[in-house]
């Protein structure tokens, strides 16, 4: 069995899907880290019974906030940190604390349209092919080795809302699948080293 911590800043639909999908496996979501006290993801965590921790970045340096996160995570045996709409760039020191153990999802076909407006920028680009990316986190903004991409072709007649729904549907289907596969392989690796 392997546990993940999810980091999120907003709505939390991916967080909820991960919690639900992992319930059918040997793995689980142990905790939620959230940087915004008004984020709806906190309500989802409460309803799902997942411990949540608000780590505010206000009035402190990024490194101070991250030290709080690291000390919170020490309470758990985390195999993977999963970013699901966490709208902050992690410092190189933080990334190095969890080598190859931080994963992110982004709502565009990276390296196109990194940042916080991946869906809108994809939509207004006029690109025929849109999609999602799951990748390991390195020091950059939505960079890092790509683990998975899924694309679809649009007709051109869709509204922004329709494209948004299509992208979220892909995220909700494939993020849990990729995470479960990674956790299975981490577990196998750990048992070999035991
Ligand atoms: C998702 O679309 C995710 O890909 C995106 O934030 C959304 C969070 O939705 N992440 C990024 O843009 C990262 N740069 P959710 O809060 O409903 O899971």
Q: Rg (Cα) of the chain, in Å, rounded?
A: 17
Q: What is the CATH number of the domain that holds 79?
A: 3.40.50.170
Per-residue pLDDT of the chain (194 residues; tens, 9 = 90+): 899 999 999 999 999 999 999 999 999 999 999 999 999 999 999 999 999 999 999 999 999 999 999 999 999 999 999 999 999 999 999 999 999 999 999 999 999 999 999 999 999 999 999 999 999 999 999 999 999 999 999 999 999 999 999 999 999 999 999 999 999 999 888 888 76
Phi, psi (5° rounding) for residue 46? -60, -45
Structure tokens at 60: 């402190």
Both tokens assigned to 110: 């990276």
Residue 106 CA to ligand 1 centre (angstroms): 6
Q: Are 65 and 56 in contact (CB under 8 A)?
A: yes
135 as an active site residue: the answer is no
pLDDT at site 50:
98
Best mutation site among 9, 12, 85 for ligand 1 pocket (most ligand atoms within 8 Å of CB): 85
pLDDT of residue 191: 83
Burial class (CB within 10 angstroms; exposed 0-12, middle 13-18, buried 19+) of 22? buried
Is the pTM higher than 0.95? The answer reads: yes
Provide the domain count of the chain: 1
**Cβ distance 103 to 179 under 8 Å?**
yes
Q: Which domain holds residue 18?
A: 3-192
């Amino acid at each position: 069995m392997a546990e993940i911590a999810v980091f999120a800043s907003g709505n939390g639909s991916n967080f909820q899907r991960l919690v639900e999908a992992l319930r059918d496996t040997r793995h689980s979501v142990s905790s939620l880290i959230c940087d915004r006290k008004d984020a709806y993801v906190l309500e989802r965590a409460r309803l799902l019974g997942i411990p949540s921790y608000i780590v505010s970045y206000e009035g402190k340096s990024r490194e101070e906030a991250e030290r709080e996160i690291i000390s919170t995570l020490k309470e758990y045996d985390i195999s993977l940190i999963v970013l699901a709409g966490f709208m902050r760039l992690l410092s190189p020191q933080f990334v190095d604390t969890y080598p190859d153990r931080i994963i992110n999802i982004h709502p565009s076909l990276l390296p196109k349209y990194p940042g916080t407006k991946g869906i809108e920028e994809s939509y207004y680009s006029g690109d025929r092919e849109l999609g999602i990316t799951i990748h390991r986190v390195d020091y950059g903004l939505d960079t890092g080795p790509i683990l998975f991409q899924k694309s679809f072709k649009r007709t051109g007649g869709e509204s922004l809302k329709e494209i948004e729904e299509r992208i979220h549907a892909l995220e909700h289907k494939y993020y849990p699948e990729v995470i479960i596969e990674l956790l299975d392989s981490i577990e196998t690796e750990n048992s070999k080293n035991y």
